[in-house]
Amino acid sequence: MAMEGIGARVARKEDKRFITGSGSYVDDMVVPGMKHSAFVRSPHAHADIKKIDTKAAEKMPGVIAVLTGKQLKSDGIGNLICGWMVHSKDGSPMNMGAWSPLAVDRARYVGDAVAIVVAETKGQARDAAEAVEVAYKEKKSVTDAVAALKKGAPQLHPEAAGNLIYDWEIGEAAAVDKAIASAAHVTTMRIVNNRLVPNAMEPRAALGHYDRAEDHHTLWTTSQNPHVARVVMSAFYNVAPENKLRVIAPDVGGGFGSKIFIYPEEIVCLWASRRTGVPVKWVADRTESFMCDAHGRDHVSEVQLAFDQNNRMTALKVDTVANFGAYMSLFSSAVPTYLYATLLSGQYAIPQIHCNVRAVYTNTAPVDAYRGAGRPEATYVVERVVETAARELGVSPAELRRRNFITSFPHQTPVIMNYDAGDYAASLDAAMKAADYAGFEKRRDKAKKAGKLRGIGMSCYIEACGIAPSSAVGSLGAGVGLWESAEVRVNMAGTIEVLTGSHSHGQGHETTFAQLVSQRLGLPLDQISIVHGDTDKVQMGMGTYGSRSGAVGMSAIAKALDKVEVKAKKLAAHLMEADEGDIVIENGELKVAGTDKTVPWSQLALAAYAAHNLPEGMEPGLKEGAFYDPTNFTFPAGCYICEVEVDPETGRTEIVQFVAADDFGNIINPMIVEGQVHGGLAQGIGQAMLEGTHYDAESGQLITASYMDYCMPRADDLPSFQVSTSNTPCPGNPLGIKGCGEAGAIGSPPAVMNAITDAIGDNDLTMPATPQKVWAALKAATRH
């Protein structure tokens, strides 16, 4: 059975349906009587809504209803909220503006939903949406966060004077300033982290179905966390009480964070279904996704890193402005604070760190967690400034890093985090060896002869996954706990269902979670089913994000398995008249150690349910549940090395090699872990070289609203990756898992930018390093 257990490269159970076209995504769902919908959206970045005239639209063919924000409000539907309270440094709570699912009197970004049309067909709904007459009075807009903070900038929300949501800090400002003042060297940079559009390949979709007979609501939605969606929609949006609301997230085509949040469309579809009496489906087209999905990143930071005369870091000072868009999305406040500033120590022993963050409203799509969420921004700050410092100090980037690595654990950083385990030098060594770092200068010379500019760059990242424990995040302002729940249900004939609150949208939980069960009980994978994504089936869950499903979700399963094992052993001991302590579970059998006495697993299960012969006081059945609340974050870390070749004539950059050496702790399925790294790297490389989100500064229009202008990484933009892992097991959870879902996207952007800036000798290049920008930088360099 070891072949299918922990550590085995098992092909995925879920693949069968995906490769044959039998997956079921929300858009594939059909319920009797289902109708289609289209949203009327603001074409303006900022405008007062004077009047909405729906009469003409209502008369269009096939139209069932045209509903507006006024009706929504009169039905008592609440505003969308941000679920994590952050306080400014003066102690005041964050300034959250109202976000109605359908804008009532003002639209604040291009795409802001204003009305919904329900019609027989999608085409008819769209035809009618065009016929809804909205009288807008345009206002001046602002899309840039730094500009939005300036005096006289257009104001978005009366609740947030000066567009400032909060002005937050962490660390000791005075101590940091003092260290900087007395430093032997200070590296100063302005670092911009570009706004990204997540672009899961499946556009968001919702199907709301109100069943009048049962007075019950069902929502099929593209969600990473259906249980969270249910509680938020019940407790805050007043859509339906939890016991009257079932949320189903079936197969979901990628999320990367963008499907964590509760969006207006799913609320409105469900409400519209209740109001019209028909099931209402909405599926985003790609341009809607570009306009309305929560975007990621968008930070501007002023950074100073101080060193003593021995090139040891003495202090880091960071002042960040974070663009939040037009409204505060569900987890937005936590991203540039507790998921960002707390990681600014990187892999380094930095005695003093201070970070100030101002969160700002602008007339753009809301910004929230996107793969990595805060940690890519932190890593980019740290790894760009460290690399730059090495250049300024004239020392090897690897050696400067090595000199400042944290080497003993646990390590308390000045910014909350307590690192539990790691071996940063091991990853650095592995990556340098794999990349033949020593041979780089030769390759650079060779490239030069061919008219190309070669550069090499590294990035030593650390991140924090499995955000926890609940008591700690609660004290930091989180509205919920960050545990996970699981139930292991042994059926009468011995097959197993595991109900998990984690949600798989590409991560392969149906396989890895089953591998854990297989390892523990010695059963083949096909006898183990993983059930997720339905609030009627799985009692509770917090969902999948922040690389938490392995470390937290599987730990909950492990705990439930512990309980199943205890009961199974007790029953087996009773059946075989042996001592409980002598029972072992192996290859699908319960054995009395040192004897030939065995009970097959299937027989034991049957005995548990037949209940003809149970030990005194034992309840029938074999089904156990568990909640797992971690004791700490986990800290995956690693080293990435990128080597590029720039064509100076066109500015085109080619990645000639990319090496990733990661420490994810224990690994369940190496094939799946590698896949996660590959995907993360592609997104990080996309951020560094290809993906830029542009709003027109004057009109506030989103210019990059389709794949014609937003550059998605394609196969020929990327190399094959060289990935490897080392392992310092995580002491914080029973499985020793750290998490692997985000590392690639966190560690790679600085590696790429360090390589390109190395190649072209211009350190001010910003992401994405497009051919045009690289060419312009080279041209500017030859001018002076």
Partner 1 sequence: MSEISMVVNGRSVSATVEDRTLLVHFLREHLGLTGTHVGCDTSQCGACVVHLDGKAVKSCSMLAAQASGSEVTTIEGLADGADLHPVQAAFREHHGLQCGFCTPGMIMAASDMIRRHPDGLDEKTVRAELEGNICRCTGYHNIVKAVLAASKSMAKGKGGKAKKAA
Partner 2 sequence: MYSTTYHRPTTVADAVKLRKKAEDGQFVSGGMTLIPAMKTRLAAPSDLVDLRHVGELKGIKVSGKTVTIGAATTHAEVAESAKLRKVCPAICDLAAHIGDPHVRHMGTIGGSLANNDPSADYPAAMLALGATIVTDKRELAADKFFKGLFETALKDDEIVTAVTFTVPAKCGYAKFPNPASRYAMTGVFVAKTKDGVRAAVTGAGEDGVFRAREVEAALAKKFDASALEGVSVPSKDLMSDIHASAEYRANLVVVMAKRAVAAANAG
- Binding positions for partner 1, rule: CB under 8 A: 11-12, 14-25, 27-28, 123, 199-203, 251-254, 256, 285-287, 505-508, 671-672, 674-675, 678-683, 706-708, 712-716, 718, 720-721, 744
Kindly report the number of other CB atoms within 10 A of residue 3's CB atom: 11
In the complex with partner 2, which residue's Cβ is closer, 666 or 704? Answer: 704
Size of the chain, expressed as the number of residues it contains: 784
Instruction: Find which of partner 2, partner 1, none residue 704 binds, CB within 5 to 8 Å per kind.
Output: partner 2
| CB 155, min distance to partner 2, A | 28
- Interface with partner 2 in residues 698-717 (CB under 8 A): 703-704, 707-712, 717
What Cα–Cα distance (Å) separates residue 369 from each residue in 275, 375, 425?
32, 10, 30
Distance, in Å, from the CA atom of 12 to the CA atom of 553, rounded to the nearest integer, reads 18
- Interface with partner 2 in residues 717-746 (CB under 8 A): 717
* Tokens read off for 763: 């350190």
Amino acid residing at 227? H
In the complex with partner 2, which residue's Cβ is closer, 199 or 485? Answer: 199
- The DSSP code sequence of 659-677 is EEEEE-BS-S-HHHHHHHH
Q: Which of 536, 772, 780, 781 binds partner 2 (CB under 8 A)?
A: 772
Task: Say if residues 533 and 598 touch (Cβ distance below 8 Å).
Answer: no
Nearest to 293 by CA among 268, 323, 257, 267: 257
| CB 640, min distance to partner 2, A | 22
In the complex with partner 2, which residue's Cβ is closer, 28 or 130? Answer: 130
Q: Which of 442, 650, 761, 764 binds partner 2 (CB under 8 A)?
A: 650
Task: Say if residues 651 and 775 touch (Cβ distance below 8 Å).
Answer: yes
Number of residues that bind partner 2 (CB under 8 A): 26
201: exposed, middle or buried (C-beta count within 10 Å: 0-12, 13-18, 19+)? Answer: exposed
Sign of CA dihedral 555, 557, 558, 560: positive
| CB 199, min distance to partner 1, A | 6
Which stretch in 26-34, 522-530, 637-645, 647-655 sits in contact with partner 2 by CB under 8 A?
647-655
Q: Checking DSSP bridges between strand 205-211 and strand 216-221, what pairing results, if any?
A: antiparallel
Distance, in Å, from the CA atom of 211 to the CA atom of 614, rounded to the nearest integer, reads 43
* Tokens read off for 476: 């930091």
In the complex with partner 1, which residue's Cβ is closer, 622 or 644? Answer: 644
Q: Which residues contact 246 (CB under 8 A, 6 or more apart)?
A: 216, 217, 218, 219, 230, 534, 535, 536
- The DSSP code sequence of 281-314 is EEE--HHHHHHHS-BB--EEEEEEEEE-TTS-EE
Distance, in Å, from the CA atom of 755 to the CA atom of 750, rounded to the nearest integer, reads 8
Q: Which of 649, 697, 764, 781 binds partner 2 (CB under 8 A)?
A: 649
In the complex with partner 1, which residue's Cβ is closer, 24 or 412? Answer: 24
| CB 222, min distance to partner 2, A | 21
Instruction: Find which of partner 2, partner 1, none residue 302 binds, CB within 5 to 8 Å per kind.
Output: none
Residue 692 lies near partner 2 (rule: CB under 8 A): yes
Residue 210 lies near partner 2 (rule: CB under 8 A): no
Which stretch in 63-71, 119-127, 250-258, 310-318 sits in contact with partner 2 by CB under 8 A?
119-127
Instruction: Find which of partner 1, partner 2, none residue 199 binds, CB within 5 to 8 Å per kind.
Output: partner 1
| CB 253, min distance to partner 1, A | 3
Residue 63 lies near partner 2 (rule: CB under 8 A): no
Instruction: Find which of partner 2, partner 1, none residue 16 binds, CB within 5 to 8 Å per kind.
Output: partner 1
| Interacting residue ranges for partner 2, rule: CB under 8 A | 123, 126-127, 130, 287, 649-652, 690, 692, 694, 703-704, 707-712, 717, 770-772, 775-776
